[in-house]
């Protein structure tokens, strides 16, 4: 796997070695980065910061692994203090991420809990704001994704919990955070290519991502009255634990990402700069937008 930083010119088709033959689907849900095979690049040894977020205060849900870990690492190396949230069962990944964040010389804290619960979402925001002594960046990233091939096997329970995790939690956290965030603050929601090009077998997940996209655009027009920008990032096929723990059909994993124009799966580290841009003042005239990071499977 490539270990170049984000500034080195590289052919994007070969920036990361494929290793597709090693992909498997033997992780239980919730998945752990510690068990991910092959491992993913979150920017641990590749992301170099330049103080683009110096002094900022950020909350990142799902910050223990995958895209959330990559975003938290990038934010910390850009100078932001960071609070990450994760499930109690993901503590081992959360602690590993916190070690990396603290090495950047910023304040960092992990708060374990289930964002399907409204009371926890409110307390999460309050605790993060207290630890950080403020809050000006919120990344609603945590998500649930489980592949179900036949609609007859898609249970009401799964449909409900996918919406609670992906949509309701975003609403509760955004509502709780907006009262604390100053003008210039930024909220970034993780949506997906599934919002625009939904796959069979991801009916509930794709539906939530469509809701997130619409929520982002509507909320942006509401919160700009407070000077808060709201945007989203839509990843394409990215190699994270969620894919290896039932997020994709097992037979799809060996060739996961090969149907993109770039021809390979994406790495979490390749998402982080998009979030940094949307969190920074560089994107001051950008709100109600969805930024695609899809390997060429472009958004409409």
Question: What local confidence, expressed as pLDDT, does residue 172 receive?
Answer: 98
What average pLDDT does the structure give for the chain? 93
* Domain containing residue 222: CATH number: 3.40.50.720
Among the listed residues 205, 275, 277, 285, the single catalytic one is 205
Q: Is 23 a member of any domain?
A: no
Is the pLDDT at 158 greater than 90? The verdict is: yes
What number of CA atoms fall less than 13 Å from residue 71's CA on the CB side? 34
Q: Is 41 a member of any domain?
A: no
**What distance in Å separates the CA atoms of residue 65 and residue 240, rounded to the nearest whole number?**
7
- Region 152-170 average pLDDT: 98
Q: pLDDT tens digits for 12-45?
A: 999 987 654 355 556 666 677 777 878 899 999 9
**What distance in Å separates the CA atoms of residue 74 and residue 251, rounded to the nearest whole number?**
33
- Say whether pTM exceeds 0.85: yes
Question: What local confidence, expressed as pLDDT, does residue 265 receive?
Answer: 93
Q: Is 289 a member of any domain?
A: yes
Q: Is 14 a member of any domain?
A: no
Question: What local confidence, expressed as pLDDT, does residue 253 receive?
Answer: 80
Question: What local confidence, expressed as pLDDT, does residue 129 receive?
Answer: 98
Based on the structure, what is the number of domains in the chain?
1
Q: Where are the alpha helices (DSSP H) in 115-168?
A: 118-132, 156-163
Pairing of strands 57-61, 229-235: unpaired
Percent of the chain beyond pLDDT 70?
94
Is residue 285 part of the annotated active site? The answer reads no
Q: Is 141 a member of any domain?
A: yes
- Region 122-144 average pLDDT: 98
Is the pLDDT at 252 greater than 90? The verdict is: no
Q: Taking a C-beta distance cutoff of 8 angstroms, is the pair 63, 50 a contact?
A: no
Range of the domain at 139: 50-293
Q: pLDDT tens digits for 76-124?
A: 999 999 999 999 999 999 999 999 999 999 999 999 999 999 999 999 9
Q: Is 18 a member of any domain?
A: no
Q: Kindly indicate the confidence band of residue 6, based on its pLDDT and cuts at 50, 70 and 90.
A: confident
- Region 170-186 average pLDDT: 98
Q: Is 62 a member of any domain?
A: yes
Question: What local confidence, expressed as pLDDT, does residue 207 receive?
Answer: 98
Q: Is 21 a member of any domain?
A: no
Q: pLDDT tens digits for 207-232?
A: 999 999 999 999 999 999 999 999 99
- Residue 282: what are its φ and ψ, rounded to 5°? -60, -25
């Amino acid at each position: 796997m490539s270990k170049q930083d984000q500034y080195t010119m590289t052919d994007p088709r070969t920036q990361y070695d494929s290793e597709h033959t090693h992909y498997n689907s033997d992780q239980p849900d919730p998945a752990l980065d510690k068990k991910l095979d092959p491992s993913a690049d979150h920017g641990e040894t590749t992301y170099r910061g330049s103080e683009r977020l110096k002094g900022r205060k950020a909350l990142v849900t799902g910050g223990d692994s995958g895209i959330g870990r990559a975003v938290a690492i990038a934010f910390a190396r850009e100078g932001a203090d960071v609070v990450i949230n994760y499930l109690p069962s993901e503590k081992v990944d959360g602690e590993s991420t916190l070690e990396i964040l603290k090495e950047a010389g910023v304040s960092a804290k992990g708060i374990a809990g289930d964002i399907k619960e409204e009371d926890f979402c409110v307390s999460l925001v309050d605790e993060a704001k207290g630890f950080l002594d403020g809050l000006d960046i919120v990344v609603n990233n945590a998500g649930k994704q489980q592949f179900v091939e036949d609609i007859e096997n898609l249970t009401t329970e799964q449909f409900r919990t996918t919406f609670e995790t992906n949509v309701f939690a975003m609403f509760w956290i955004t509502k709780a955070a907006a009262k604390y965030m100053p003008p210039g603050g930024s909220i970034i929601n993780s949506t997906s290519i599934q919002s625009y090009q939904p796959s069979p077998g991801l009916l509930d997940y794709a539906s939530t991502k469509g809701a997130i996209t619409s929520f982002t655009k509507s909320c942006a027009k509401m919160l700009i009255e407070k000077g808060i920008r709201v945007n989203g990032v839509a990843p394409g096929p990215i190699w994270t634990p969620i894919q290896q723990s039932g997020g994709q059909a097992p037979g799809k994993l060996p060739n996961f990402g090969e149907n993109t124009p770039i021809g390979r799966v994406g790495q979490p580290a390749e998402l982080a700069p998009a979030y940094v841009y949307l969190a920074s003042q560089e994107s001051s005239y950008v709100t109600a937008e969805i930024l695609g990071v899809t390997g060429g499977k472009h958004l409409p």
